[in-house]
Structure 1
Amino acid sequence: MKKLSARRRHPLAAVVVLLFALAATGGLYAAFAPADKAKADETAQSLAIEEGKRLYSVGCASCHGTGGQGTSDGPSLVGVGAAAVDFQVGTGRMPAQQPGAQVPKKKKIYSQAEIDQLAAYVASLGAGPAVPTKKQYDPQGANIAKGGELFRNNCAQCHNFTGEGGALTNGKYAPNLNGVSPKHMYEAMETGPQNMPSFPDKTMPEKNKKEIIAYVQAVNGDETPTPGGAKLGGIGPVAEGLFAWVFGLGGLVAVCVWIAARTTKAKKS
């Protein structure tokens, strides 16, 4: 027993035990880890990047550069992330038909599989926001009232109170949000396309983005009542008052001019 106890107290005993534990852990991991699945995922990702690079060379490199570094005709794509590609290409804004103050939404020309490949390639150029999952952007159960408050404080200045869009400076505009998918709304908030500021999770948490999406869908839904007739952008009596002021006052001025003209004509007679 004394000899065994002495061996246990040997200075190298702890090192031997540690090495044995590491070897056992490594052996168990090698035996049970899903190596095939991990290797298959890595291979699929590499193929997606390679195919995305091919698509990029054909449809994007002329403006954004052969390596995504940007040119005088297009900004750098290094670090924009997969979410920006999914939004821009998924809404048809990219590839752009022609230069202008703002690239409009149009019918997309790539399939979703091709968009995913383009996104994988651009993401490989530099870290950036990833394409969100359905769990991230699904507004089911979100607080619509809170979303309305957030929207009015952060978005209504450009997109109008109900997301119907509006004009900006120098030919730019905030697009109408009616019919935009929750995923694309989330990606727009995450990446800040064109003139829009970005709202990453540090600035606006995922929960708040869901609430804004829920609000936009609620106020633009087919079942949303408009008891006053035309909703006029949802800005309330201001629009009606402006209409009455312009056309009502204009009508009164026209009547006054007509009366003055008739009076002057009668006096001359």
Structure 2
Amino acid sequence: MRFLNRSAASLSRHRRGRLAGLVLLLVGLIISGGLYATFSPASSATQSKTDAELVEEGRQLFLTGCSFCHGQNAEGITTVNGQFVGPSLVGVGAAAVDFQMGTGRMPLTIPGQQAPSKPGAYTDEEIEAIGAYVASLAPGPAVPDEEYLTIENLSDEEQQEAISRGGQIFLTNCTACHNFSGKGGAMPRGGYAPNILNTDPKHIYEAMLTGPQSMDTFSNGNLSPEEKRDVIAYVGSMRDMPGYGGFSMGALGPVSEGMFAWLVGLGSLVGFAIWIAAHTTRTKKKKGQEA
């Protein structure tokens, strides 16, 4: 008991010492600094280093798989006739990279009027890295945020209004190429508008934002992010829309309908006319023989 009392008295004297306050202050600073470093977000310096590493990774992937057509610095390559082997990617932004590589259109397998969609050759992480490298060359459209790709966060009434607005925008700006059902159709000089009913919402947004190949560009100044979201919602609603017109002929628009009219409609009329002419000839011959 005496020992405990003696220890308590000694500790009390040390607490009243001149260095006690300083020691306690240092201990508090160390503990608080450690907790902040553990639970706080990464600092800007660390984030910048991570972005730099991502850009460098994308650069290496670009040099390996893309520079043959687009140049060592993405400046583009032209032939002796001035035609592009691969256009410049300076200023196209990460959104264009994500669309072209995410849909498998790039790398291009065979040169042609239009790059077809196919299974992708790069992983999502590699596409992100190449997009970061291209975005570092010059300002350009970024990959869209998730909030502009869905209307699930809206109420049922707001969702219906969004689909209605998107339908009006789609009918005004998109049906000339993708037709009223969104299943695409033929275009001049060997091009075509693809079927967009099963296209990922992110890629629909990026296509509107960047205008790939024959498609027009709808920047955020032409169509706001909310309006692009509404178009995506309308396209999604068409997937389950029943065909009220009966036989749709693939819903490929005027090409299939025109072919049906020529082959079946006019073909039937021509065949009927030939049958009438042949029947008339046989009737005349029969009357001549009787006479």
Aligned to 1:139, the other structure's residue is in SS state: coil
1:251 offset after TM fit, Å?
A: 1.9
CA drift at 1:42 = 1.0
Q: Which runs of 4+ in 1 moved over 6 A?
A: 31-35, 239-242
How many residues get paired? Answer: 236
User: Which one has the largest radius of gyration?
Assistant: 2
Query: RMSD over aligned Cα, in angstroms?
Result: 2.6
Q: Which residue of 1 aligns with 2:76?
A: 70
Match of 1:89 in 2: 101
The correspondence of residues 50-129 of structure 1 with structure 2, limited to 5 A, is 50-72=56-78, 73-129=85-141
Structure 1 position 228, deviation (Å): 3.3
Structure 2 counterpart of 1:38, which letter?
S
**1:44 is the counterpart of 2:50:** yes
Unmatched 5+ stretches in structure 1: 1-30
Are residues 1:168 and 2:168 paired?
A: no
State the match for 1:132 in structure 2. 144
Aligned-partner Cα distance in 2 for 1:180–1:98: 22
Match of 1:54, SS state, is helix
Q: Does 1:255 align with 2:272?
A: yes
Match of 2:82 in 1: none
Cα offset, 1:253, TM superposition: 3.0
Q: Report the Cα distance in structure 1 between the residues aligned to 2:267 and 2:43, rounded to whole angstroms.
A: 74
The alpha carbon displacement at 1:255 in A equals: 2.1
Instruction: Tell me, yes or no, if the aligned pair for 2:98 and 2:143 is still in contact at 8 Å.
Output: yes
Please give the secondary structure, in 1, of the residue aligned with 2:242. Answer: coil
Q: Determine if contact 1:139/1:213 at 8 Å carries over to the other structure.
A: no
**Gaps in structure 2 of 5+ consecutive residues:** 1-32, 79-84
**TM-score of the two chains, using structure 2 as the length reference:** 0.74
Counterparts of 1:151-230 in structure 2, within 5 Å, are: 151-219=170-238, 221=239, 223-230=240-247
CA distance in 2 between partners of 1:241 and 1:35 (Å): 61
Distance 1:262 1:247 in 2: 22
Contact 2:183 2:194 in 1 (8 A): yes
Tell me, yes or no, if the aligned pair for 2:185 and 2:253 is still in contact at 8 Å.
no
Partners of 2:93 and 2:140 within 8 A in 1:
yes
CA deviations over 1:214-251 (Å, ceiling 9, x no partner): 111111x2x32223333342869xx8798568624432
Q: Secondary structure at the match of 1:110?
A: coil
* Paired AA for residue 148 in structure 2: Q
Q: Contact (CA 8 Å) 1:69, 1:77: kept in 2 or not?
A: yes
